[in-house]
């Protein structure tokens, strides 16, 4: 019996060395470890071994089994199980020099980032960021801003009214400008006031490269004693240099808004596409708060003066990042978003 076990071990190890691929290994496994394999046969002979030899033969039987199993595992690793039979060095398959897989990290949308940047720049000049509701009423959107009943800006065709303005006393609407927040601040707080209010506004415009039915504005308001147009100009020119860089070319152009007197438009010379010649682009409006607006919110215009401004956030983003079409900001195409 012991001789038989020695033979199984010797022949088994020799045969393993001949096995060159996965199929040969499997065939070997069936011959030695299969249900009718040589080790099973040896075990069935164990019954007939004389009692006093049983401990020694049993130990040898276990040892042969363990040795063959170990040799089998080593051979399998050497061949590279599942590796198509090509010989490989033993050991874990791990290439430490291979570059890692970069996880795809999301980030904030460009409009959110620009909004934060704008608030940051104005915060350095002492403006507090505040917000107001997007669902407004015509009193905050028009009446208290000194926009008369017959003004074309109040036309139902040009606004998203929620209530019918012809039959409702204080019709609700999606705000068409962030100037509403000026009114809300002056209604609820005492001057001096120094705020900026970024947010969404809505107008039923036909969508094209420069228009959208929803966009963002940032409103500014500074109310104090003896605020002048010079303060307004300094603030806006400093803002432009802080946001766009030292070379920013900006200008104020006389204009009209019902809620400011005098009023101006704030333009900047920018090229929307790299290589295009820079053009004057209107960033928004501004001016000195009209005394009629102060009166509508109960602030004495003899004591207080102020300036206000309202800029388009998309314009500011497009100008700085060279985005030629406003629709790119709302389509959420990752090929675009990943570039900025």
Residues contributing to the site for ligand DAH (CB under 6 A): 177, 179, 219, 257, 260, 284-287, 308-310
Q: Which is nearer to ligand DAH, 159 or 177 (CB)?
A: 177
Q: What is the DSSP letter of 101?
A: P
**In the complex, minimum distance from the CB of residue 167 to ligand DAH, in angstroms, rounded to a whole number:** 26
Q: Which is nearer to ligand DAH, 160 or 336 (CB)?
A: 160
| CB atoms near residue 137 (< 10 Å) | 19
Q: How far is the CB of 271 from ligand DAH (least distance, A)?
A: 24
C-alpha torsion sign, points 239, 127, 116, 265:
negative
Q: How many helices (H) and strands (E) does the chain have?
A: 11, 9
CB-CB contact of 314 with 200 (8 Å): no
Beta carbon nearer to ligand DAH, 284 or 319: 284
Residue with Cβ nearer ligand DAH (264 or 329): 264
Instruction: Annotate 55-77 with DSSP letters as a single string.
Output: HHHHHHHHHHHHHHHHHHHHHHH
Q: Give me the least distance between CB of 269 and ligand DAH, in Å please.
A: 20
| 29 vs 233 by CB, closer to ligand DAH | 233
Distances (CA, A) of 278 to 137, 239, 249, 319, 320: 39, 20, 10, 10, 12
Q: How far is the CB of 306 from ligand DAH (least distance, A)?
A: 10
**Which of 69, 214 has the CB closer to ligand DAH?**
214
Local structure of residue 51 (DSSP, 8 states): G
Q: Which is nearer to ligand DAH, 250 or 308 (CB)?
A: 308
CA gap 189, 95 in Å, rounded: 65
Q: Give the whole-angstrom CA distance, residue 80 versus residue 93.
A: 10
193, 156 in Cβ contact below 8 A? no
Full DSSP string of 144-159: GGT--TT-GGG-GGGS
Please tell me whether the peptide bond between 192 and the residue prior to it is cis, using omega within 30 degrees of 0: yes
Which of left, alpha, beta for 229 (phi over 0: left; psi -120 to 50: alpha)? alpha
Tell which phi-psi region holds residue 82, choosing left (phi > 0), alpha (psi between -120 and 50) or beta: left
- By beta-carbon proximity to ligand DAH, the closer residue of 11 and 208 is 208
Q: Tokens standing for 24?
A: 């040969």
Minimum CB distance to ligand DAH, residue 267 (Å):
13
Local structure of 337: helix, strand or coil: helix
Write the DSSP symbol of residue 244: H
**Residue 102 beta carbon to ligand DAH: minimum distance, rounded to whole angstroms:** 42
CB of 244 to ligand DAH, least distance (A): 19
Could you tell me the smallest distance in angstroms from the CB atom of residue 174 to ligand DAH?
Answer: 13
């Amino acid at each position: 019996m012991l001789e038989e076990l020695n033979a199984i071990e010797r022949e088994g190890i020799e045969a393993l060395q001949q096995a060159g691929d996965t199929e040969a290994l499997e065939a070997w496994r069936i011959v030695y470890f299969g249900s009718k394999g040589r080790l099973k046969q040896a075990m069935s002979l164990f019954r007939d071994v004389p009692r006093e030899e049983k401990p020694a033969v049993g130990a040898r039987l276990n040892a042969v089994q363990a040795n063959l199993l170990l040799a089998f595992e080593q051979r399998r690793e050497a061949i590279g199980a599942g590796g198509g039979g090509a010989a490989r060095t033993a050991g874990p398959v791990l290439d430490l020099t291979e570059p890692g897989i970069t996880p795809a990290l999301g980030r904030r949308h460009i409009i959110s980032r620009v909004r934060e940047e704008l608030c940051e720049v104005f915060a350095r000049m002492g403006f507090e960021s505040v917000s107001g509701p997007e669902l407004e009423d015509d009193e905050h959107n028009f009446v208290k801003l000194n926009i008369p009943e017959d003004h074309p800006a109040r036309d139902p065709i040009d606004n998203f009214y929620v209530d019918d303005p012809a039959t409702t006393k204080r019709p609700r609407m999606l705000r068409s400008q962030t100037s509403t927040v000026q009114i809300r601040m002056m209604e609820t707080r005492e001057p001096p006031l120094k705020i900026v209010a970024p947010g969404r506004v809505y107008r039923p415009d036909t969508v094209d490269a420069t228009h959208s039915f929803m966009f963002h504005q940032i409103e500014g308001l500074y109310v104090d004693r003896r605020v002048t147009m010079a303060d307004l100009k300094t603030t806006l020119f400093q803002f432009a240099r802080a946001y766009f860089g030292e070379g920013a070319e900006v200008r104020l152009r006389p204009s009209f808004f019902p809620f400011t007197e005098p009023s101006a438009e704030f333009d900047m010379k920018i090229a929307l596409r790299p290589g295009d010649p820079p053009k004057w682009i209107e960033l928004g409006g501004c001016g000195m708060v009209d005394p009629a607006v102060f009166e509508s919110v109960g602030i004495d215009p003899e004591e207080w003066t102020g300036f206000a401004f309202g800029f388009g956030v998309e314009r500011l983003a497009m100008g700085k990042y060279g985005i030629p079409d406003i629709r790119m900001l709302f389509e959420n195409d990752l090929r675009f978003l990943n570039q900025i």
